[in-house]
Amino acid sequence: MDNSATFTFYGSLNDFLPRAKREMQLLYRFAGAPAVKDAIEALGVPHPEVAVILINEKPVGFYHSLQPGDTVAVYPAGWREFFPADFSLRSGEAAPEKFVLDVHLGRLARALRMLGFDSCYRNDYTDQDIAHIAQSENRTVLTRDVGLLKQKSIQWGYWLRSQHLEAQLQEVITYFNLQDRLQPFSRCIACNGTITEVPKESVIAQLPPKTRLYFHEFYQCTGCNRVYWKGSHYDRMQRIIEHWI
């Protein structure tokens, strides 16, 4: 294994590297002519967070064969604007604004639903389940597992840096530029179904006695039939959302 190439990772891609190897050139030794994607992931960086790859200052795709002596520069999504559009690995494409989340991100899934984002989640999903859902439904994977993002079939994905809900939510909104896409209370936080306004008469059998008496505006999930109304819990949720955003 005498062949080698040098790699430099920019911006947020350094989050995947050991501290001692960040913001510096890395020597990568290899045999044969591996795809540059395989080399990038062997060094620790999952392909969904890579936006531009330059080899010897020329843009290449993930499956370009690495050659001895190559100088490789790898850039994250946030740097795409600094390059011509055709340098991007996904020129003209934007990540889907609907998500599938791993089993560790249940609270984040509920928060995203509360803000109106289509967020698929179950606490018994396997990595294979998530990869299949992402591919078949064109969803973006959100995860705390770097290894999951390295699965070949996953096109869009993001690794949450924080373990804290508010920071995670801010990461997702910022990374995917969702600030103007919020539609609070348009999705069911329990099942992810859409919520529509319904006549009181159609849900009256599901209402607690005092709710029947004092409230007249109701909404229902088209998926699980859960009923919502603007009680004290609605005011609390509004304050939570105001705090988040």
Q: Return the bridge partners of 74, or none.
A: 9, 53
Range of the domain at 209: 195-240
Average pLDDT rounded to a whole number, residues 221-238: 87
- Whether 182 is in a domain gets the answer no
What proportion of the chain, given as a percentage, has pLDDT over 90? 87
What CATH number is associated with residue 54? Answer: 3.10.20.30
Determine the average pLDDT of the residues in 202-209: 93
How many other CB atoms are there within 10 angstroms of residue 23's CB atom? 11
Give the span between the Cα atoms of 105 and 204, in whole angstroms: 34
> Does residue 81 surpass a pLDDT of 80?
yes
Phi, psi for 82 (deg, rounded to 5): -85, 0
pLDDT at residue 1 in the model:
55
Q: In what order do the strands lie in the sheet with 58-59?
A: 26-30, 3-9, 71-76, 50-55, 58-59
Provide the 3-class DSSP secondary structure of residue 71: strand
Give the pLDDT confidence score for residue 160 in this predicted structure. Answer: 98
Do 182 and 245 meet the contact criterion of CB atoms below 8 Å apart?
Answer: yes
Model confidence, pTM: 0.92
What pLDDT score was predicted for residue 30? Answer: 96
Are 174 and 161 in contact, with CB atoms under 8 Å apart?
no
- Please say which residue of 34, 55, 87 terminates a domain: 87
Q: pLDDT tens across 11-57, in order?
A: 999 999 999 999 999 999 999 999 999 999 999 999 999 999 999 99
- Has residue 52 been placed in a domain? yes
Residue-wise pLDDT tens digits, 115-143:
999 999 999 999 999 999 999 999 999 99
Q: Does 7 lie in the same domain as 81?
A: yes
Q: Which helix (H) or strand (E) holds 142?
A: strand 140-143
Same domain, 129 and 61: no
Is residue 190 a part of any domain in this protein? no
How far apart are the C-alpha atoms of 147 and 121, rounded to whole Å?
A: 18
- The answer to whether residues 47 and 73 belong to one domain is yes
The number of folded domains in the chain is 3
